[in-house]
Amino acid sequence: MNGDDSRLHSRILLVDDEPGVVISLKRYLEMKGAVILEAGNGLEALEILRRDTVDIVLTDRNMPGLGGQELLQEIRRQWPNIDVLLMTGLSSVQNAVEVMRLGAADYIEKPVDLPATYSILKRVEANRKIRLERDRLKAEVALRELSQVITSNLHMSDLPDRIAQLIVSTFKAGDVTIQYRFADVDDESIFWRSPGLPTELDESEQLLVVEAQSRGEIVQQEMGPRWLACIPLLSDRRTRGYLLITRTLENGAFDAQQLDLLKVMASHVNVALENAHLYHVATREMRSTQQLTEIGRRLNSRLDMENTLDEIHAGIRSFVNCEYTAVIHLDRSVHELTIELRGRSRPDAQLQNELREHFDERVTRINDAQFHWQTRRFNGRYEYYNEVSGRVRFQSWVPLSDSYGIFGLMGVIRLAGENFSQLEVRNFMLLSSSVSSALQNSLLFTSQRRLHLETVQVLSKSIDEKDHYTHGHSAQVAAIAVKVARAMGLGEEELIELRLGGLMHDLGKIGIRDAVLNKPGKLNPDEYSHIKTHPLIGAKILERAPHLHHLIPYVRHHHERWDGAGYPDGLRGEAIPLAVRSLSIADVFHAMASDRIYRKGMEVDKILRILRNESGRMFEPRMVDKFLDLWDKGVINQDDINFDPASETAG
């Protein structure tokens, strides 16, 4: 709800069986800035609410079938965060009180007074904004409190009760059930219920838990006199337990914002329970904990891959007595699997073959679509080069994972003696988190180094062939596109990619003949066809650099049009990625505003008129509106046209 305070900023659903009322309200409210959806009766309205986002429902009270009053009650039950206004021809204080008692935000008298309706909607918007901000602040407070619970309550005896109290106070919940099975001990778990509840789940609760855990997502359902929601607790992509929360019918179902908050809180609860359990285990072995902390500190101080691997193997050997340590890791950026074996003595040929068979066996057990490679290499380093023979007697392995899944394994191998102790295995597993993080940091560092090198190679070729103008234009277009895309809601990672795509978008012009590219006059048809090949040329260039493949859409599609009349692929509408749409409008804007060899840059007012005229044809209407709004607010301004790429340091 930003921008001009005189305009409406809501998505409003109009529900009335009188088309004339809907048409007049729709025209007037759209002129005031609202986005309008229409329904002819209460049943149609419910269908729209199930599939679309709505802020306010403006409904007639008396309609055939499902009337406005019944619709209000259903909205209050299923979507309590939507504001409802009832339109009625009965005007009295008693009527107003009755409408408010039913849960309406306000009422509007019929025949509808358009200015009065606008004033009421502005008031509802203001109250809604305050309420949503209050809910947001309440959510932040709840998360802070939960963080405090996590950091200050490491004793399992009172942690579930503290978590339940926080959930009850945050969500106006009734009862809470927490069930959790710890990741490292199969037979150790907790089952906690609010005081007064039966010691076991009833059949309906069990069915809801099974559904939530099988789907891996929140499930809520109305059961008798209550709403019941089940939130699965996940660890390493495995379901470890659940939160079961009840609410009264009066408080209604959890809305979308509350469900999102529950997901975040569930992850915090997961961490809280695991931390408490780990604390319980770690207090019995304080020296080992201190040792692991020191190893983790050293690992986090390393970026170079060889130094990181040295620290990993030294760390493992410091608390696990073994002949060999192994780290298998996948560099997804180049699809290369590396096997690192370290030990005191060099294994002879027979033992080395046996070790490699064990490596292959472990790797093939990883069932993860992300875990694939094109090349493999083996590195072995030993303290002494006298050969040792024997057979693998005991081995222990733990997976190494990141947000995409498993990317490697860490193993210890013993040729003689007793099996690994529980303490050794526990510490080995605890170390895997630090090892995963350290390896990912090193892989990222290596990848970035490689990325910079390859990017410089690609760009240097274009610089050799073309003048500085193309780079300056690309940098300015990238900066404008990022501003538009940020306002359209893209996240920071997407914006970083968009900036790179903007810098690369005209890369294909290195393959365009200079006589065409720098022609001081109008291009003939053959020349125009030739210059239209630059998106495909640029895409072909990027195909040679695997780590830049994600930038190909920006290079290939920045001349596509919303109406499908663009090139080279004739993409239409939503088929054009949102970030590329922001790049296209930025490219056209800057091209028209810039001086060219054959003309001076246009006046901005004229350019903005062209953008308006091209809304729905060349550009997505939403994108044009956002661009014009950013210009009006000064977010995009004359400096973006006269931008000096050498001064650009941030996104």
pLDDT tens digit string along 27-40?
999 999 999 999 99
Q: How far apart are CA 218 and CA 231, in angstroms?
A: 5
Helix (H) or strand (E) run with residue 296 in it: helix 286-300
Predicted local confidence at residue 650, as pLDDT: 35
Q: How many residues does the chain have?
A: 651
User: Contact, 565 vs 600, CB < 8 A?
Assistant: no
- State the pairing for strand pair 83-88/106-109: parallel
State whether the Cα torsion 53-133-268-158 is positive or negative: negative
Among 97, 89, 91, 81, which residue's Cα sits nearest to residue 49? 81
Predicted local confidence at residue 634, as pLDDT: 93
Q: How far apart are CA 611 and CA 216, in angstroms?
A: 45
Q: Give me 377's structure tokens.
A: 């290499």
Q: What is the pLDDT of residues 506-539, one digit of tens each?
A: 888 888 787 887 777 788 888 889 989 999 998 9
Q: Give me 518's structure tokens.
A: 């720098």
3-state SS assignment for residue 130:
helix
User: Which residues lie closer than 8 Å to 561 by C-beta, 6 or more apart?
Assistant: 572, 584, 617, 618, 619
Name the amino acid, one letter, at 357. E
| Residue 644: pLDDT over 70 | no
Q: How many helices (H) and strands (E) does the chain have?
A: 22, 15
- pLDDT tier at 94, thresholds 50, 70, 90: low
Most confident of 204-218, 383-397, 471-485, 607-621: 607-621
Predicted local confidence at residue 289, as pLDDT: 67
Predicted local confidence at residue 283, as pLDDT: 65
State whether the Cα torsion 104-106-108-109 is positive or negative: positive
Q: Give the 3-state DSSP-derived string for 134-154, with helices as H, strands as E and coil as C.
A: HHHHHHHHHHHHHHHHHHHCC
Predicted local confidence at residue 13, as pLDDT: 95
What average pLDDT does the segment 466-473 reach? 57
Angle at 324 between CA 322 and CA 329, to 5 degrees: 125
Q: How far apart are CA 59 and CA 551, in angstroms?
A: 47
- pLDDT tier at 186, thresholds 50, 70, 90: very low
Q: How far apart are CA 78 and CA 257, in angstroms?
A: 13
Q: What is the pLDDT of residues 215-253, one digit of tens each?
A: 888 999 888 888 899 999 887 778 889 999 998 887 778
- Please give the residue that has the higher pLDDT: either 321 or 279: 321
Predicted local confidence at residue 621, as pLDDT: 96
Helix (H) or strand (E) run with residue 336 in it: strand 336-347
Indicate the range of 113-127, 393-407, 507-521, 542-556 predicted with least confidence. Answer: 507-521
List, as one string, the DSSP characters of 16-65.
Answer: -S-HHHHHHHHHHHHHTT-EEEEESSHHHHHHHHHHS--SEEEEES--SS
What average pLDDT does the segment 185-198 reach? 78
- State the pairing for strand pair 394-402/405-414: antiparallel
Q: How far apart are CA 510 and CA 644, in angstroms?
A: 22
Task: Please give the C-alpha separations between residue 138 and each of 38, 141, 150, in angstroms, as whole numbers.
Answer: 33, 5, 18
Predicted local confidence at residue 92, as pLDDT: 54
- State the pairing for strand pair 238-248/324-331: unpaired
Among 254, 266, 273, which residue's Cα sits nearest to residue 160? 273
Q: How far apart are CA 79 and CA 271, in angstroms?
A: 30
What average pLDDT does the segment 164-174 reach? 85
Up-side HSE of residue 199: CA atoms within 13 Å toward CB?
Answer: 0
What average pLDDT does the segment 342-347 reach? 89
Q: How far apart are CA 333 and CA 314, in angstroms?
A: 27
User: Contact, 383 vs 343, CB < 8 A?
Assistant: yes
- What are residue 12's DSSP bridge partners? 36, 56
| Percentage of residues in the chain having pLDDT higher than 90 | 33
Name the amino acid, one letter, at 50. R
Q: What is the pLDDT of residues 423-455, one digit of tens each?
A: 788 888 888 888 888 888 888 877 775 664 466
User: Contact, 392 vs 357, CB < 8 A?
Assistant: no
Tokens 């810039």 belong to which residue?
594
Task: Please give the C-alpha separations between residue 66 and each of 42, 51, 62, in angstroms, as whole numbers.
Answer: 5, 19, 9
- pLDDT tier at 167, thresholds 50, 70, 90: confident
Most confident of 183-192, 369-378, 501-510, 571-580: 571-580
Order of strands, edge to edge, in the sheet holding 226-235?
189-193, 176-181, 238-248, 226-235, 219-223
- pLDDT tier at 190, thresholds 50, 70, 90: confident
Up-side HSE of residue 516: CA atoms within 13 Å toward CB?
Answer: 17
Q: How far apart are CA 476 and CA 637, in angstroms?
A: 12
- pLDDT tier at 463, thresholds 50, 70, 90: very low
What average pLDDT does the segment 291-303 reach? 74
| Residue 68: pLDDT over 60 | yes
Up-side HSE of residue 51: CA atoms within 13 Å toward CB?
Answer: 5
User: Contact, 57 vs 15, CB < 8 A?
Assistant: yes
pTM for the structure as a whole: 0.37
Mean pLDDT estimate for the chain = 84
Predicted local confidence at residue 554, as pLDDT: 94
| Residue 458: pLDDT over 70 | no
User: Which residues lie closer than 8 Å to 487 by C-beta, 6 or more apart?
Assistant: 626, 629, 630, 635
List, as one string, the DSSP characters of 173-198.
Answer: ---EEEEEE-SS-TT-EEEEE-TTS-
Predicted local confidence at residue 460, as pLDDT: 36
List phi, psi (to 5°) of 405: 130, -160
- What are residue 230's DSSP bridge partners? 219, 244
- Please give the residue that has the higher pLDDT: either 438 or 257: 438
Name the amino acid, one letter, at 71. L
List, as one string, the DSSP characters of 609-622.
Answer: HHHHHTBTTTB-HH
Predicted local confidence at residue 643, as pLDDT: 53
Count of beta carbons in the 10 Å neighbourhood of residue 191 = 14
- pLDDT tier at 482, thresholds 50, 70, 90: very high
Count of beta carbons in the 10 Å neighbourhood of residue 242 = 23
